[in-house]
Chain A
Amino acid sequence: MAEVAENIQNIIKPENLVYQKSPVLTDKVMHYCPGCSHGVVHKIIAEVIDEMGIQEDTIGVSPVGCSVFAYNYIDIDWHEAAHGRAPAVATGVKRVFPNKFVFSYQGDGDLAAIGTAETMHAVNRGENIVMVFINNAIYGMTGGQMAPTTMVGQVTATTPYGRDVDLNGYPLKITELIAQLPGAAYVTRQSVQTAAAVKKTKKAIRKAFEIQANKKGTAFVEVVATCNSGWKISPVDSNEWMEEHMFPFYPLGDLKDGEKEDPEALKMNV
């Protein structure tokens, strides 16, 4: 390995360097499955932190789920929150550190099932935080059970005959709900299955951090993602499955772009 590393150093010169690992990513080997979207989103967040020069001023809040160990990979100070509570933890951090950058990172079960109340109320208060939401329509870490965002008919460990609305209710479009809240400044839904999509998501996450810098309200970025291990298909097939089944129900694009509502306009006339 050492020999390979040395050869690489001889080959890679500043004049021919086209890409390198963000210095805000640690050297730890990621535990994510091959084909998982988490690694790509981690990389994007690390690049944005590096490019904005805010590594010393950024504090992350990781969830319970596959990305519980996000703190192992992005080289900043972190809080590991209880299941669903990341937006409340991020609120606590931001309220005592109003000038730091604070972001939460959560999966669909964490953000849209057990943590729905914390999610909605953090956004409704217009907390000046960034919320990153990874929606892969399944519980990954616990072994592929139904998530709030699981598609109708989708087979999971707890919907072995497919998600049945009469039994399990509908897939939850929580991002659409969030876009209705006056505290939200920027709400967008992106993906990371192609180079073009990665670029767009990076632009969205950069914008979200800039909104926080300007204290305009909550910036919420959903990333429609794959979980090929949970879905039990190959990474390539997962990308196709996501495009075919998830994108029509969870359409990509901005749901809200602006700033939180002007409280003066809502004030009672007394």
Chain B
Amino acid sequence: MGELRLMKGNEVIAEAAIRCGCDGYFGYPITPQSEVMETLMNRRPWDETGMVVLQAESEVASINMVYGAAGAGKKVMTSSSSPGISLMAEGISYLAGAELPCLIVNVQRGGPGLGTIQPSQADYFQATKGGGHGDYRLIVLAPASVQEMNDFVDLSFELAFKYRNPVMILSDGAIGQMMEKVELADYKPRWTDEEVKEVSGSWAAIGKSPDREQNIITSLELASDKMEQNNIRFQAKYQKIQENEVRFEAIDCDDADYILVAFGSSARVCQKTIQLARAKGHKVGLLRPITLFPFPTEEIKRLAGRVKGFLSVEMNAGQMVEDVRLAVNGKVPVEYYGRMGGIIPSPDEVEKALEQKLIGE
């Protein structure tokens, strides 16, 4: 059993980064995730593990610092909240284009624009469909507890280096701010220079030794025939990620007539909703996508073969519901229920919506 603590989700991101051997964090304060950098600055990991922490002049600068340090083959990360992630979009596209491993944490707040500082899931499209320019994908993990905030940091770096791709933890202000019991991971040492060379020496800009060609971190290719080959390579990688990295949790789905599909905070709400519905005699289950890209399309397709309908429950205007509909492909009804502007739906209102939109028919 690892060390048990009562911590905020944002604090755990910082603690998990230090413990998993992260080399650097570059960020800029924004509510509701500022505790990530505050915790790091309080912990002074540079004295303990050698991890560097830097408050940048903007989100634009922090994501580009991540680009530089990730291109050096190091385990590096940033965190922000929705408006800040928009500012990082250019840099994230460059990271994807240069195939650099890194972790980006988005503790979402409501939008558009300056919006609200209350929790939201309105960045689903931005996280899973691109966000920046060009054809690219992030691997997107959606934690539903403080424990998962902890667990997904190390997992993100593992996936980022496995596929040489940026990974996003798509959290929200509720999970970032709430305190829960968490079992912390044991310390893993940071990679030595030799280990960095072993893991990333074939591509990272770590200093050119005479025995090899230059390593150049770039997303630029002016020759269209070569650029198309790059794009084909990226798409093949995304395909491989879809085949191998789908993660989801299914609760009470085996005998269910109706399935709620929800991630993160709204999945927490839906856990209560299925209890309320079952108390009324309705067989309802919850499918919680843990990876939003890759999306659990096959599992939903499988369930669509035998259930009567799906309700996608989201803290946005209905974004993930599009992916649920694509998976179900018209076999059974797919409805959406959600709240916006930083409102978290109650289990009761979701249950009512389920009855009105699906069961009541």
> A: which residues have CB within 8 A of B?
55-59, 61, 68, 71, 75-82, 85, 88-97, 100, 117-118, 121
Contacts of B208 in A (CB 8 A): 55-56, 75-77
B229 on the A face (CB < 8 A): no
Known: A85-B60, A118-B61. A79 touches B214 (CB 8 A): no
Query: What is the CA–CA distance of A88 and B76 in the complex, to the nearest angstrom?
Result: 14
Query: What is the CA–CA distance of A58 and B219 in the complex, to the nearest angstrom?
Result: 21
Contact A118 B64 (CB under 8 A): yes
Contact A93 B207 (CB under 8 A): no
Query: What is the CA–CA distance of A92 and B100 in the complex, to the nearest angstrom?
Result: 13
| 6 further contact pairs, Cβ within 8 A, besides A56-B210, A76-B208, A79-B217 | A71-B218, A78-B205, A79-B71, A79-B205, A79-B218, A82-B90
Contacts of B91 in A (CB 8 A): 82, 85
Known: A97-B72, A117-B57, A121-B61. A57 touches B207 (CB 8 A): yes
Query: What is the CA–CA distance of A71 and B221 in the complex, to the nearest angstrom?
Result: 13
Known: A95-B24, A95-B69. A81 touches B64 (CB 8 A): yes
B130 on the A face (CB < 8 A): no
Contact B68 A76 (CB under 8 A): no
Contacts of A95 in B (CB 8 A): 24, 52, 54, 65, 69
Query: What is the CA–CA distance of A91 and B62 in the complex, to the nearest angstrom?
Result: 10
Contacts of B206 in A (CB 8 A): 59, 77, 97
* Beta-carbon nearest neighbor of A85 in chain B: B64
Shortest C-beta distance, B206 to chain A (Å), equals 7
> B: which residues have CB within 8 A of A?
23-24, 26, 52, 54, 56-58, 60-62, 64-72, 74, 76, 90-91, 94, 98, 204-210, 214-220
Query: What is the CA–CA distance of A55 and B70 in the complex, to the nearest angstrom?
Result: 21
* Beta-carbon nearest neighbor of A24 in chain B: B208
* Beta-carbon nearest neighbor of B213 in chain A: A75
Contact A117 B58 (CB under 8 A): yes
Query: What is the CA–CA distance of A121 and B98 in the complex, to the nearest angstrom?
Result: 25
Contact A88 B61 (CB under 8 A): yes
Query: What is the CA–CA distance of A58 and B214 in the complex, to the nearest angstrom?
Result: 12
Shortest C-beta distance, A182 to chain B (Å), equals 15
Contacts of B23 in A (CB 8 A): 96
Query: What is the CA–CA distance of A117 and B59 in the complex, to the nearest angstrom?
Result: 11
Contact A93 B68 (CB under 8 A): yes
Contacts of A76 in B (CB 8 A): 207-208, 214
* 21 A/B residue pairs, CB under 8 Å, sorted by A: A56-B208, A71-B216, A77-B214, A77-B215, A77-B216, A79-B68, A79-B71, A80-B219, A82-B67, A85-B91, A88-B61, A91-B54, A91-B65, A92-B26, A93-B68, A95-B54, A97-B72, A97-B206, A100-B207, A117-B58, A117-B61
Contact B65 A80 (CB under 8 A): no
* Beta-carbon nearest neighbor of A69 in chain B: B220
Contact A92 B68 (CB under 8 A): yes
